[in-house]
Structure 1
Amino acid sequence: MQVSPDNSQITTSPQETLPIQPLEKNKRIDALDILRGLCLVGILLMNIEWFNRAIISLGGQDTSLTGVDHAVGWLIRCFVEGKFYKLFALIFGMGFAVMLLRAKEMDRPFGAWFSRRMFVLLLIGIAHMIFIWGGDILHDYAFAGFILLLLVRKKKSQEPKSYLKLGLTWLIVPIFLTSLAGIIFGTVFNDAKFQEMWKSELDIYTLVEQKFSSKSEMDSTTSTEITNETTIKPAEKTEHVELTDEEITAETIATAIQDRLDAQADIDKENRAFTEGSYWEATQYRISFSGVMLMFSPLITLAVLIPIFILGFWLVISKTITQHQQHQTFFKTLARVGLLAGIPLNVASLLIIQHPAASISFVLLGAGEILFYIAQLTLAAGYLGLVVFALNKQKWQRILSVFAPMGQMALTNYLMHSVILTSIFYGYAGGQYGEISRAPQMLLVFGIITGQLVFSKWWLSHYRFGPMEWLWRSLTYKKIQPMKV
């Protein structure tokens, strides 16, 4: 299958009435299903933490962990966090290309059909976010899918290399811009200025911490009282009087204290909703929280998902993944570079982020976060290369193929994670929220994945699709799909 030069014209003549049909099982690309299954394992390892603590702190390190719990949490953050949802996005782009090329091969309409598919996924994602778990990613994939469709239709050049160039450029530009900002900052701030900035940050941090050093003091002092102790009068702000260094420091401290109080209040609100509240009260919280998630969707979609979608699209239209047996050198190199560079980068970035100084210095924290993002992309690429290269070996293909049924039912299994874990943790069900520490959570992950491997294989031996895949397809094709094999 080749992409023709006029591939931007995705839809065919209006008289065409035969719809695209779902792929038969023997026509699926096994590598994609295996990758989806493995991604589900990584996503569950990451997500389970956020069923057991406030998701409003998503991405933040749990500093209360010690011993084995700390070790497990650190290792997951190093080797799992941020890697597998990016891999899943890459697979999404691959799936888009497979459907597009198949539509062109069969001379079928595609644009309206795929738009309907993304609209259904968006509805599923929003329903998941509101009624089950607030950390949904499906709605972001749906938004990105609409943009990818528009991009492919409008793009003049349909040569595979042009998509590779576009995807890599899209990923690199934000990294380059932040690096450029770092270069400018580094050249402007000499050692004396750094020392001055560090001393100021340390002094402010110390004063703020003193306000929170005693829990009894916090319990007996209201937010307003703390703020009034350190902030300047409103009249001084509105009159635009030039502030002294002491007044600027006082205002900074007051703002930091209020931010800390607000953040803790948000965490407490979420904890109450999922420990003390009924299902309806938890749903009300999820409705309000969905506004926060949707607010960040454009950033996640444009800055992260779209370039990865494009690279996934390129992997298929260039036949690099569909004929991976003929591209072993590429995937072997990807594995070596990705792993050899990605592991040290992840370790280094986390050591920076988790150092106590990073909570004081925005320079250290910013540098660590940028490095961590680059490390996530690098290690995700290494994982992709490793798995696909391994699939060229019969032994590893046989071992990894056990994940294919789970990947074929990826939507069902992803949503099943949320149903199972909210039933275990949330107060309106199992009531274990905050009670199961990080290490024992791995036993839950093992049990869930084992169960899904067995269930998926059994289900697909009797039915063509997973339950949610069947619903998704039926709504997309506007026709009830046959379920029996």
Structure 2
Amino acid sequence: MSIADPVRAPGRITAIDGVRGFAVLGILLLNIVAFAMPSYAYVDPTVYGGSTGANWWAWALAFILADGKMRGLFTMLFGASTLLIADRALRSGRSPARIHYARMATLFAIGMVHAYLIWPGDILVLYALCGALVFVARDWPLPRMFAIATLLIAAPLVSGIIDHAAAEHFRALALSPRASPAILAEWAHYQAEMDSLRATVPAELAAFRGDWQQVTAMRATLAWQAQRQIFPDLAAETTGLMLLGMALFRSGFFTGDWPARWTRAVLLIGYGLCLPAYVALALWISASNFDPIVLMLAEPLHLVLLRPAMALAHAILIMALITRIPTAWLPIRLTAAGRMAFTNYLATSIICTLLFYGYGLGWFGYLQRWQLYPVVAAIWALMLLWSKPWLDRFAAGPLEWAWRSLTFGKRQPFRRRSPSDQRSFAN
């Protein structure tokens, strides 16, 4: 491939860009539900959007192939990039710690704007906080990185098993003919809490179909709820996935330096074992009619036991595509989209909120689940079509450039000065 091609920027690792491009496209398969429907529909399709026929298939395929895997890849790549950027800072004579924490502070600020003024499903704030923590592990030996990452990722499974067992025991007591009035009262309270998740649907429909002021009030409520209640639950897993990404980078996974037998083993586990297990899990969840007690166990089972191997199997296939046919249209476009993943992620939020919120086209809650995926395909086409032409003319994506300029405290070069002038800051 010619050095003039934007996906071959000096000092960049093309495979990382390609996997990131795949992830930024794939994560929209899940996020589109959160853009277009009341929030709990993301977890339970019976709440809104349809759960039978084509709608069931839309949920099942997204769950089996993408749910958690794309976010997992993004998070692992964030960890890998943390090391890559620290190494580059060290080689250039800059302080890796200063660069890193300036990046995290800037990311936190951008994430807060994203959460409260664009879309409450923001993940950047969580990344900034967890990214600040994992930097201390950059010089750890590989065995320690892998061990701590495993413990952090596995933690939700332990709590999920305990919570599920306790909830099932509680349900058995409540449904027993000899249940005491106190148990029945507690069970009624629990059911009321579950029903309250569905009860938010009318309020969200009214707010997100409303004007800017109504949308902003609901967006702030949901963003604060996520940061206060959901982020603490995700912190250990997110930190663990970042550490795993760091360990994989140091071990040569993202640079193609793994032994072939390791790669084959991941593919075998990811697709030979985890993929059939995902199908079985989807059928179990569906057969339970998305019972919240079943979900208590199903979620950590797939996120802890199944997701990592399947996400890495996806990454291996994309890296093989990038390295074996690097001049083909799709690898070039995926890699360019990955180089602009930050811009593409936030642009997706802007496009989707303008499509679905009341101050835009106001489609919120009007499409069935399966009808969201032509919208996804159209946005994918935009990302693949615009990223490479942009990089043909400019040194980086607009938000990558802004992030770098804010990090360094001065305006960075924006236009390309020569065919080989490509910035590698965000790899």
The answer, yes or no, to whether TM exceeds 0.5 is yes
Contact 1:345–1:371 (Cα < 8 Å) also in 2? no
CA 1:437–1:457: 2 relative to 1, 3 Å: same
Deviation at 1:245, TM superposition (A): 4.0
The match for 2:34 is 50
What is the aligned partner in structure 2 of residue 132 from structure 1?
Answer: 118
Work out whether residues 149 and 244 of structure 2, in 8 Å CA contact, stay in contact via their aligned partners in 1: yes
Give 1:369 shift. Answer: 2.8
Alpha-carbon deviations, 1:38-86, whole Å to 9, x = none?
A: 0011111111111111125542233633221221222112211111011
TM-score norm. by structure 1 comes to 0.76
2:152 is aligned to 170
Q: What percentage of aligned pairs have identical amino acids?
A: 25
Match of 2:280 in 1: 348
- How much is the aligned-residue C-alpha RMSD, in angstroms? 2.9
Cα distance, 1:305–1:61 mapped onto 2, change above 3 Å:
same
| Secondary structure, counterpart of 1:26 in structure 2 | coil
Gap regions ≥5 residues in structure 1: 1-22, 187-193, 205-243
Name whichever of 100-109 and 441-450 sits farther off: 100-109
CA distance change for structure 1 residues 394 and 330 in 2, over 3 Å: closer, same or farther?
Answer: farther
Q: How does 1:4-43 map to 2 (within 5 A)?
A: 25-43=9-27
Task: Report Cα offsets for 1:65-110 as digits up to 9, x if no partner.
Answer: 3221221222112211111011100100110111112222333211
Distance 1:264 1:171, change over 3 A: closer
Looking at structure 1, the residues matched to 385 and 405 of structure 2 have their Cα atoms a distance apart, in angstroms, of 25
**Alpha-carbon distance in structure 2 between the residues aligned to 1:396 and 1:167:** 36
Shift of 1:182: 9.1
Greater relative CO (CA pairs within 8 A, separation 6+) = 2
Q: Say which of 85, 90, 94 aligns to 1:108.
A: 94
Per the alignment, residue 220 of structure 2 pairs with 287
1: CA distance, partners of 2:288 / 2:130: 36
Mapped partners of 2:32, 2:297: distance in 1:
27
Q: 1:117 aligns with which of 92, 99, 103?
A: 103
Among 288, 299, 302, which residue is 1:372 paired with?
A: 302
Work out whether residues 341 and 379 of structure 1, in 8 Å CA contact, stay in contact via their aligned partners in 2. Answer: no
CA–CA distance in structure 1, aligned partners of residues 30 and 183 of structure 2? 39
Partners of 1:55 and 1:135 within 8 A in 2: no
> Which SS does the other structure have where 1:484 is aligned?
coil
1:59-458 matches, cutoff 5 A: 59-62=43-46, 64-152=50-138, 158-175=140-157, 181=162, 200=173, 245-252=179-186, 254-256=188-190, 258-260=192-194, 262-275=196-209, 277-295=210-228, 296-302=230-236, 304-322=237-255, 324=256, 327-356=259-288, 359=291, 362=293, 364-373=294-303, 374-394=305-325, 399-458=330-389
Which letter maps to 2:355? I
Q: Hey, what's the Cα distance between the residues in 1 that align with 2:29 and 2:46?
A: 15
Report the more deviating stretch, 467-476 or 282-291: 282-291
Q: String of CA shifts for 1:329-358, please: whole Å, max 9, x gaps.
A: 322321221111211221122222222376
Q: Tell me the CA shift for residue 128 of structure 1.
A: 0.7
Encode CA deviations 1:340-382: one digit per residue, 9 max, x unaligned: 121122112222222237628x3x4433333222222332122
Alignment check: 8 A CA contact 2:248 2:254 kept: yes
TM-aligned CA deviation for residue 257 of structure 1: 5.2
Please list every run of 5 or more consecutive structure 2 residues that lacks an aligned counterpart in the other structure. 1-6, 417-427
Tell me the distance in 1 between the aligned counterparts of 2:72 and 2:349: 19
Residue 461 (structure 1) shift: 0.4
Map Cα deviations across residues 131-151 of structure 1 (whole Å, 9 max, x no partner): 111111111111111011234
CA contact (8 A) 1:133 1:422 kept: yes
| Further displaced range: 40-49 or 66-75 | 66-75
| Residue correspondences, number | 406
- Give 1 or 2 for the bigger CA radius of gyration: 1
Cα distance in 2 for partners of 1:344, 1:326 equals: 26
| Alignment CA distance shift 1:202-1:370 (3 Å) | farther
TM-score using structure 2 length: 0.86
| Distance verdict in 2 for CA 1:29–1:199, change over 3 Å | closer
Shift of 1:480: 0.5
C-alpha change, 1:313 and 1:440, in structure 2 (3 Å) is: same
- CA distance 1:481–1:110, change in 2 (3 Å): same
Alpha-carbon distance, 1:120 to partner? 0.7
Structure 2 Cα separation of the partners of residues 125 and 88 of structure 1:
15
Q: CA deviation digits over 1:385-432, x for unaligned, max 9?
A: 332344442379764232011111111111111111111111221011
Distance 2:51 2:298 in 1: 21
